[in-house]
Structure 1
Amino acid sequence: MLRLFAALVLLTSGCSVNQPTATSAQALARVEQLIHETADILTPKPRLESVPSFEVPSTCWDEDKSQDQIIVSRAYWLRDVPKSENMSISQQVRAHWEAAGHRIVASGRAGNPDLSGESQPDGFTLTLTWAEGDNLYLGAASPCVWPDGHPSE
């Protein structure tokens, strides 16, 4: 796992448009790792329920990258957590991300549990999002990657 992570860091950091990247499978493994490591530290322990709309790769948003690159993401509803615990969950997530060396880039206004972060050193997007009905979901998304790790010829 450490070897995969090291390769992923090297391949996703500082790449120009035609340089190799992590593959979509490597990016997915890192996304899942980030989400599950975070969920595993939460109390009360949530039951993760996949958000299907995040299961399809999306086109790279970075205008400096090729439109043939993709972003791999996943998100999970945090089920079986009392709504009264939403702020506590947010505080736990923040503490975990900071302890792991990730960077917090945004947080919700007072009383709002939303958090956004960036994994370090590989630049994956991290999110804890409050949604209608006082529900939370935890997600992660890769930087832009080539599906097979290298540009098509």
Structure 2
Amino acid sequence: MNRPAYWAGAVALALALSVGGCGAPGESEDARTEDTMNQDEAATRVTEHIEGVVAALPEGAELEPRQGMNVAACDDPTDGGPRDRVTVSERLWIRGLPVEDNEANTDLLVAYWTDNGYEVVMDERPDNQSVTVRHTEDSFNVSLRVTDQGSLSLAASSPCVWPEGAPGS
């Protein structure tokens, strides 16, 4: 595997996902200045998306936090949206599953996602075990990656939201 190319792609994807949820293509500025869920509600939804993944995995899957819940600025002026919004995300390790089952577990999750209202945004299989999906109703993103060492990494992130649920609050 070409590690620099893989990580460059992963970084580009992370940037696209963190900005990509800030406004749908063609969405008006007015639509992005309307009330949203607040960051606590976004954190709850991130957790719900993660719990759905875990429920779809075989028995024995356990989550290990990588950094805990993260709130980051979502104010890149190139997205056309207003400043002061945030995106909420969490990254975790999935432990307790045999490494030799990673491909089957990735397939299992892709089936779960496509059956439960997610669209595949990026699928790098078979070269890399990396899949990113977006929920069609709430625009939350979920990603699964398998490291070179065989560890499963799970991430979920919100679209851009106002911290208190409304602009200027």
| TM-score bin (small chain) | 0.7 to 0.9
- Structure 1 unaligned segments of length 5 or more: list them: 1-11
Give the whole-Å Cα distance in 2 for the aligned partners of 1:27 and 1:132. Answer: 31
Structure 1, residues 93-118: CA drift from partner, whole Å, max 9, x if none? 10000010210111123153211000
Displacement of 1:67: 2.5
Structure 1, residues 2-56: CA drift from partner, whole Å, max 9, x if none? xxxxxxxxxx98672321111001111111101111111111431100111x522
103-112 or 67-76, larger mean C-alpha shift: 103-112
Q: What is the aligned partner in structure 2 of residue 55 from structure 1?
A: 69
RMSD of Structure 2 on Structure 1 (CA)? 2.0
Q: How does 1:1-153 map onto structure 2 within 5 Å?
A: 16-52=31-67, 55-60=69-74, 61=76, 63-110=79-126, 112-152=128-168
Q: TM-score, normalised by structure 1?
A: 0.83
Give the whole-Å Cα distance in 2 for the aligned partners of 1:92 and 1:141. Answer: 21
Q: Percent identity?
A: 26
Give the whole-Å Cα distance in 1 for the aligned partners of 2:167 and 2:148. Answer: 40
Residue identity opposite 1:141 in structure 2? S
Aligned length: 141
Structure 1, residues 39-83: CA drift from partner, whole Å, max 9, x if none? 11111431100111x522111146222231000001210011111
CA contact (8 A) 2:72 2:88 kept: yes
Secondary structure (helix, strand or coil) at the match of 2:117 reads: coil
- Structure 2 unaligned segments of length 5 or more: list them: 1-22
Give the whole-Å Cα distance in 2 for the aligned partners of 1:24 and 1:136. Answer: 26
CA contact (8 A) 1:28 1:73 kept: yes
CA contact (8 A) 2:133 2:143 kept: yes
Displacement of 1:131: 2.3
Give the whole-Å Cα distance in 1 for the aligned partners of 2:123 and 2:89. Answer: 20
Give the whole-Å Cα distance in 1 for the aligned partners of 2:142 and 2:37. Answer: 18
CA contact (8 A) 1:57 1:73 kept: yes
Secondary structure (helix, strand or coil) at the match of 1:112 reads: coil
Q: TM-score, normalised by structure 2?
A: 0.76
